[in-house]
Amino acid sequence: MNVVIIGCGAVGAAIAYELSLVKGLNITVFDKQPPAQAATGSALGVLMGIISHKIKGKAWQLRQISIQRYESLIPELEELTNSKIPFNRQGIVMLLMKNADASVSDEEISRWEKLTKIRHTQGYQLEIWDTAKLQNFCPQVEDKNIITAVYSPQDRQLDPTALTLALVTAAQKNGVTFKFGVNVLGITPSVSRQEGHFCQQLETTEGKIAADWFVIAAGLGSSPLAAQLNYSVDIRPVLGQALQLRLGYSLGNPDFQPVITGNDVHIVPVGNGNYWVGATVEFPTNGNHEITPDLELLESVKQQAIALCPDLAKATTIRTWSGLRPRPQARPAPIIEKLSGFSNVLLATGHYRNGILLAPATADAIREMIISN
């Protein structure tokens, strides 16, 4: 059975690898760029699963599948590729800050206490720290606006580019063909079948390729591809900027380097006294899809990080970057489903800010759709 995947960010690469473990599939992946560009290349790789407030339904199920799969996937990929994937197993510390009226509402604290109990029943751990415990574990955090903190020891962070490249290498070893620098020109619908239209071939700058299944995992590029099949998938860009700071030494305790997050600003240790900080959330204006990075917003994120961990004021900015995240309009992210009216076209797109987190679960869902038919 021939499977074509369009798009090789973290999601497309994860799908390719998981499908490569299924016998009898001949898999080809197309991308006009090298792997791990676009949204994947701009992500911080913070896997906020257990610490999210998603507790039931598809939103929690996807997170749970991914959390569990990552624990086996990372060592699996490292063994297959003989390369190291930076994978921070020291958890996430979320800082709860005073409101404008200098308080954290009892209702908010109650929400976290309730979530802690729910996670315990689900077999996961969350801890609520007072400021004394926070200071003991994370002495680098000094913001006087912090009321309390939530620690999630089973959440993770990883390097999205290293992950994606490892997925590609491992999939190649399992026989997957990757074609980079190839533009997809169109998908041609074929004759109708009882269960809906059937797509027969893909037209690319390298010619036509026939397949039994087509998986569209092209992020923002998914909308024009679906439009060629007369189906509207409204996915719009949201820009995110981040920066890398070089401090030269570890913040706080060198042996305890979790991700620290507060007010949606992430401080991500990446080793050797380096930290990623981000990310902005910038929407298109004036109805167009063009977004110019707002440098003032990036500076604001940096200053917020310094407010949380004052030692970062001594750091040097060695790199800044940005990327566009695919956000579905008028429906929840992500979109993982059959393309309406087509029996063999699958959508795995529109993950917005959770592409890295949900890549394993997305791959699992796509595999099940293919092998159950």
More confidently predicted of 103 and 292: 292
Q: What would the two tokens of residue 181 be?
A: 């620098």
Rounded CA gap, 214 and 323, in Å? 26
Q: Are strands 259-262 and 265-271 parallel, antiparallel or unpaired?
A: antiparallel
> Among 330, 333, 316, 364, which residue's Cα sits nearest to residue 72?
364
pLDDT at 36: 79
- According to DSSP, the β-strands at 26-31 and 207-210 are unpaired
pLDDT of 288: 64
Element of type H or E holding 74: helix 57-81
Q: What is the DSSP letter of 315?
A: P
Least confident of 31-40, 277-286, 347-356: 31-40
Note the pLDDT tens digit of each residue in 278-322. 999 999 887 667 888 999 999 999 999 999 999 999 999 999 999
State the Cα–Cα distance between residues 255 and 245, nearest whole angstrom. Answer: 19
Q: What is the DSSP letter of 53?
A: S
- Chain segment 316-334, per-residue pLDDT in tens: 999 999 999 999 999 999 9
Domain ranges in the chain with CATH number 3.50.50.60:
2-85+159-234+329-371
The pLDDT value given to residue 189: 75
Beta bridge partners of 276: 244, 268
What is the pTM (predicted TM-score) of this model? 0.95
Residue 98: per-residue pLDDT: 80
Say what the pLDDT of residue 8 is: 96
* Domain covering 89-156+237-326 in this structure, CATH number: 3.30.9.10
The pLDDT mean for the chain works out to 93
Whether pLDDT at 187 is above 90: no
Mean pLDDT within 22-31: 97
Q: How confident is the model at residue 64 (pLDDT cuts 50, 70, 90)?
A: very high
- According to the model, what pLDDT value does residue 181 have? 95
Residue 105 scores a pLDDT above 80: no
Q: pLDDT category, 56, cuts 50, 70, 90?
A: very high
Partner residues linked to 39 by β-bridges: none
Residues of the chain with CATH 3.30.9.10: 89-156+237-326
- Going by pLDDT thresholds of 50, 70 and 90, the confidence category of residue 43 is very high
**CATH 3.50.50.60 at 2-85+159-234+329-371, yes or no:** yes
First to last CA, the chain: 11
